[in-house]
Amino acid sequence: MSTQTESKHESAGAAGGFEPKITAFVCNWCTYAGADLAGTSRLKYQSNVRVVKLPCTGRIDPHFIIKAFENGADGVLVSGCHPGDCHYTSGNYHARRRFTMFRAMMEFLGLDMDRLQFSWVSAAEGGKWTKVVDDVTNKVRNLGPNTKYRELCEND
Amino acid sequence: MTDNLRKLARELLESGKASVVIGYGDATLPGRTTPVFITSAAEADRLVWNEHCLNNLAVYLSSRKFKTDGKIAIVAKPCDLRAIINLVQENQVKREDVIIIGMVCSGMKDNDSGKPLEKCNACMEHVPKNCDEIIGDPASAPKPADPNAEFISLEKLEAMSPDERWAFWSKEFSKCIRCYACRQVCPMCYCTQCIAQKTQPQWIPSSQTPKGNFSFGMFRALHSAGRCVSCGECERVCPVGIPLNLLTAKMRKEIREKYGYEAGCDPDAPAPMCNFKPDDKEDFIR
């Protein structure tokens, strides 16, 4: 993971405007393959997203998401197989409950909920992947830099 | 009730049914109590029962904190009893190894102010369930409070804007001195190695920085989701007065609304965070 200083440098963007940094945690079997399909189909989407591949959404601990925010992510996208399609049968069902609670906690603590997006993208949904990424990127760009977490991490 | 309790403790120890009775005894300061471990019938008179029996004694049941050869008899308020049931559910203690002495409880009072505790005003069960012995008259117990009474304190925060909430929690967490009293006193926090002290990788910064404090506060409540029995000990022991119960109450509210579950009420119920239903709500997922 890159450091905060780096992210500040990068967030300036080519035209001088703010370019958000999005971390995407995706599952190996569906969303990663979906993103791959988007690539091989030559579909265009915004390049702000950094993809981290994991075996399953069930492997994604809320700690990963917090670490991404702490290390300078302006938004986080979590994506995996549709319910019923999990390669490990039930990983995404468990993840769904975990994210429900995590999201409620983050909302209660005061994070802007547009910075945290969950989605199901299958291996056949290259088009959906591009839409989800564009949508999250636009939303976070409108919100601006994640100042709440930047301030929190300033003294470290 | 104190007399009945002492009598029962004496019987249990004399007959060898229990090797220890965990209960409350008088503390050095008048009007306060402290946990006591009674191992002989002659000592049974040290046990007391009054409005200052605040500690949740279930914390001594998790294996890393207490070990004995015979059965453990434990004095439990109805709220503490839910913690014991939850420990049984999570295989931390065998139900048959514990003799639960349930106390009919009409509420505890704060040591300093003498006022009833907030959690006692919102208490739904004054009469213990799932116990082996009952001390006190169930008919004398106060009426249960409204089930949503414990969530009233959340309304003020929920009505705030995200920025206001963030400012509120930043200020509260900035007080944290990372003494981990909230963790040590929690009957559900029994991991032999806490993630807050892992260093490779270090998920939660261990020094008292805003980042580390925020992360610790958040994950403490998140790890107790679906397991917290609302005994309120974390907030009571916090030396700097962080309203920790707001976080755990939020998690309890979500668990109740989304999955219809109350921790520590039914030893056979499936734990909500280890189970799922294919049709669980997912209105936030695209």
Residue B184 Cα, gap to closest chain A Cα (Å): 21
Q: Do B219 and A132 touch (CB under 8 A)?
A: no
The answer to whether B118 touches B124, Cβ cutoff 8 Å, is no
* Contacting residues of A for B195, CB less than 8 Å apart: 63
Cβ–Cβ of B221/A105 closer than 8 Å?
Answer: yes
A74: number of Cβ within 10 Å: 27
Range from A8-12, B114-118, B215-219 that averages highest in pLDDT: B215-219
**Hey, are the CB atoms on B282 and A105 less than 8 Å from each other?**
no
**Could you tell me if B13 and B44 are in contact, meaning their C-beta atoms sit under 8 angstroms apart?**
yes
Residue-level length of chain B: 286
For the domain covering A4-151, report its CATH number. 3.40.50
pLDDT of residue B178: 94
Percent of chain B with pLDDT over 70: 98
What is the pLDDT, as a whole number, of residue A15?
Answer: 56
| Domain residue ranges of chain A, discontinuous segments joined by + | 4-151
Of B160, B250, B278, the CB nearest to A84: B278
pLDDT at position B142: 86
> Is pLDDT at A7 greater than 50 in this prediction?
no
* pLDDT band per the 50, 70, 90 thresholds, residue B147: confident
Cβ pair B51, B28 in contact under 8 A:
no
E strand or H helix that includes residue A119? strand A116-120
Q: Which helix (H) or strand (E) holds A117?
A: strand A116-120
Please judge whether A109 and B259 are an interchain contact, meaning their C-beta atoms are less than 8 angstroms apart. Answer: no
Chain A 31-60, CB below 8 Å of chain B: which residues? none
pLDDT tens track for B69-92: 889 999 999 999 999 999 999 988
Alpha-carbon gap: B112 to the closest alpha carbon of chain A (Å): 30
Beta pairing, strands B33-38 & B20-26: antiparallel
* A101 has a chain B CB within 8 A of its CB: yes
CB contacts < 8 A, A to B, total 107
Q: Residue B157 is nearest to which of A84, A108, A117, comparing CB atoms? A: A108
For all residues of chain B together, what is the average pLDDT?
Answer: 91
What gap in Å lies between CA B204 and CA B223, rounded to an integer? Answer: 13
Over range B180-185, report the average pLDDT.
94
Give, as one character, the DSSP assignment of residue B142. P
A102–chain B Cβ distance below 8 A for any pair = yes
pLDDT band at A1 (very low <50, low <70, confident <90, very high): very low
**Closest residue in A to B278 (Cα–Cα):** A93
Q: Is the pLDDT of residue A4 over 50?
A: no
ipTM metric: 0.91
Alpha carbon distance B92, A76 (integer Å): 36
Q: What is the per-residue pLDDT across A20-42, written as a single tens digit (0 to 9) for each? A: 999 999 999 999 999 999 999 99
From B262, B268, B80, B91, select the one nearest B186 (Cα to Cα): B80
